[in-house]
Amino acid sequence: MRTYEDFTAGLEIPLGPYVADRDDMIAFAREFDPQPFHLDDAAGGANELVGSLTASGWHSCAMLMRMMADGFINDSSSQGSPGVDFVNWKAPVRPGDTITGRVRVLSRRLSGKRPTLGIAKIGATLENQDGVTVLETEYTLLLLTREGVAA
């Protein structure tokens, strides 16, 4: 299990691949973001900005979360996150896209109040199969130290 001590500044962790499935995109949009260009091929094609059916940006975030859970979170002492600093949707995710990415530890420090809790600033980037960046985000990850895990 990875603990705070393993998340050194500069560490990069690869993510994915994850294939964006058309039916999953539409199901997610029906439930959470029912804008026409997320629900229908024709409506997506008629949208001047995207030109085809695209995943909701929030679905892209959910894809990122799945890749992070598989890539490192489920094998870490993660205690969750107090929040996200920003999310930028740089390009649409389209049906059939193969998404890969990476997270990078930007900085880290121990909590001033809880010495067995570490705080890491994480940057994440996702790209499609053509190397086009589709999402960028930064957030804070809380991790137990080795001492905290042993307690």
pLDDT (tens place) for every residue of the chain, 151 residues total: 999 999 999 999 999 999 999 999 999 999 999 999 898 877 666 666 776 899 999 999 999 999 999 999 999 999 999 999 999 999 999 999 999 999 999 999 999 999 999 999 999 999 999 999 999 999 999 999 999 998 7
**Quick one: tokens of 40?**
């229908």
For position 49, what pLDDT does the model report?
Answer: 72
* CATH architecture of the domain covering 4-150: Roll (3.10)
Give the distance, in angstroms, between the CA of residue 86 and the centroid of all CA atoms in the same chain. Answer: 11
Structure confidence at residue 147 (pLDDT) = 93
* 3-state secondary structure (DSSP) of residue 129: coil
Phi, psi for residue 37 in degrees, rounded to 5: -75, -5
Q: Determine contact, residues 59/93, Cβ cutoff 8 Å.
A: yes
The β-bridge relationship of strands 83-89 and 98-110 is unpaired
Which two tokens mark 44?
């997506």
Q: Among 55, 49, 51, 64, which Cα is nearest to 35's?
A: 55
Instruction: Tell how strand 83-89 and strand 133-144 pair up.
Output: antiparallel
N-to-C CA span, the chain: 15
Question: In 3-state terms, what secondary structure has residue 85?
Answer: strand
Q: Do residues 144 and 116 touch, judged by C-beta distance below 8 A? A: yes
User: What is the per-residue pLDDT for 67?
Assistant: 98
Secondary structure element (H or E) that encloses residue 135, with its range:
strand 133-144
What is the DSSP pairing of strand 133-144 with strand 98-110? unpaired
Domains of the chain, residue spans: 4-150
- Contact present, 119 and 140 (Cβ < 8 Å): yes
